[in-house]
Amino acid sequence: KQEVTQIPAALSVPEGENLVLNCSFTDSAIYNLQWFRQDPGKGLTSLLLIQSSQREQTSGRLNASLDKSSGRSTLYIAASQPGDSATYLCVSRGYQKVTFGIGTKLQVIP
């Protein structure tokens, strides 16, 4: 059974700092890994998707990496802003199977 763990559960950083969110998974037989952000009381917004054959994906200030052999993915946020404050979810997808992490709650302090 796939398990997805996100560390830390919560993170508070000053504005402008670069930061890394971590995601680990137990079953490396995944199709892809997707990062979402969720604002309080809102739905999930997709940030990046990394296919199993890829090592990383970039979108603006965000960079996600994938290392299947070690069962790890990271989400790097450069020059953090208060608007980045949200919960970030890591989701692994295998055949007919989608597994969610509980998320990392990020607070960027102005």
Partner 1 sequence: NAGVTQTPKFQVLKTGQSMTLQCAQDMNHNSMYWYRQDPGMGLRLIYYSASEGTTDKGEVPNGYNVSRLNKREFSLRLESAAPSQTSVYFCASTLTGANSPLHFGNGTRLTVT
Using CB under 8 A as the criterion, which residues of the chain lie in contact with partner 1 when the complex forms? 31-32, 34, 36, 41-46, 49, 51-52, 89, 91, 93, 96, 98, 100-103
**Rounded to the nearest whole angstrom, what is the least distance from the CB of residue 15 to partner 1 in the complex?**
27
Question: Which is it for strands 104-109 and 10-14: parallel, antiparallel or unpaired?
Answer: parallel
**Rounded to the nearest whole angstrom, what is the least distance from the CB of residue 7 to partner 1 in the complex?**
14
Tell me which residue of 83, 94, 86 sits closest to 21, measured CA to CA: 86
**Rounded to the nearest whole angstrom, what is the least distance from the CB of residue 61 to partner 1 in the complex?**
19
Tell me which residue of 39, 42, 35, 66 sits closest to 52, measured CA to CA: 66
